[in-house]
Amino acid sequence: MTAISILLVDDEDLVVETIVDSLSTYGCRVQAAAEGGAGLAALDDHRFDICVLDLGLPDMDGIEFLRDLRTRSNLPVIILSGRNMEAERVLALESGADDYVNKPFSPRELLARIRAVLRRTDDCSAEPQAEKDDGAPACYAFAGWVFEPETRSLRHDDGRADKLSAGDALILEALVTRPGRVLSRDFLIEYAQGPESNSFDRSVDLHIMRIRRRLTAAAGDQGDLIETVRGAGYRFAAPVRQV
């Protein structure tokens, strides 16, 4: 099995030492950066499988680092932070983080979270997609948008383009391939995270919120493209055609 390559951006020596020592025993390769600038430079020079990011960096806020990273990469990111307020977690997830772990933490739990995020990411890129007759991956057109699940890309007729996180792409894929059907939160979570997902996980609502923000501006008079069906789940309300 290929070792997991981790970029750790954290300035707390004890945290860095704990993570490097603990995860190395499981065969992970960890490169640490004590500042956001050094972490971004490392991204330019090396290939990583995932980033573990502290929010309280000495040279920039972790959210600033995350947003900068998202302009250049879809690298999965787990936030590891002592900021335990719900608003902080929501902001990090809305800014593109894939998971959030509070300090103090268990190294074994962190490793489990890393593996879970990488499974979701791998599933999104490796899961067989529908193909058109010419063998190209399927794309789905709706309300002026074209969504390509394989590359997680959204393109609008007005020239706008966006790239979704792995989780957001899987949730949108579930919706656009089943337009008009009500999909429960449990179904969407299992679709995105696999059968081992936690049925009490409500992160699907954050995925939906992020997707809506990307789509609402193009919806125009059509209203919300993703409807909330109270007590049941979500429904994709726009007509969808495969292109």
pLDDT of residue 31: 94
Distance CA 136, CA 67 (A): 31
Residue 7 DSSP SS3: strand
pLDDT of residue 134: 45
Q: Which of 29-43, 104-118, 219-233 is the least confident region?
A: 219-233
**Portions of the chain given CATH number 1.10.10.10:** 140-242
Q: Please give the residue that has the higher pLDDT: either 197 or 98.
A: 98
Distance CA 141, CA 24 (A): 45
Tokens of 45: 């020079």
pLDDT of residue 199: 45
Q: Please give the residue that has the higher pLDDT: either 101 or 203.
A: 101
Q: Please give the residue that has the higher pLDDT: either 225 or 191.
A: 225
* CATH code given to domain 140-242: 1.10.10.10
pLDDT band at 223 (very low <50, low <70, confident <90, very high): low
Alpha helices by DSSP H, the chain: 13-24, 36-45, 62-72, 86-94, 107-126, 166-176, 185-193, 204-219
pLDDT band at 50 (very low <50, low <70, confident <90, very high): very high
Distance CA 49, CA 194 (A): 20
Checking if the pLDDT of 19 tops 60, the result is yes
* CATH code given to domain 5-126: 3.40.50.2300
Residue 2 DSSP SS3: coil
Strand partners, 222: none
Helix, strand and coil in the chain, % to nearest 5: 40, 20, 35
pLDDT band at 132 (very low <50, low <70, confident <90, very high): very low
**Across residues 123-135, what is the average pLDDT?**
46
Q: What percent of the chain has pLDDT over 90?
A: 33
**Portions of the chain given CATH number 3.40.50.2300:** 5-126
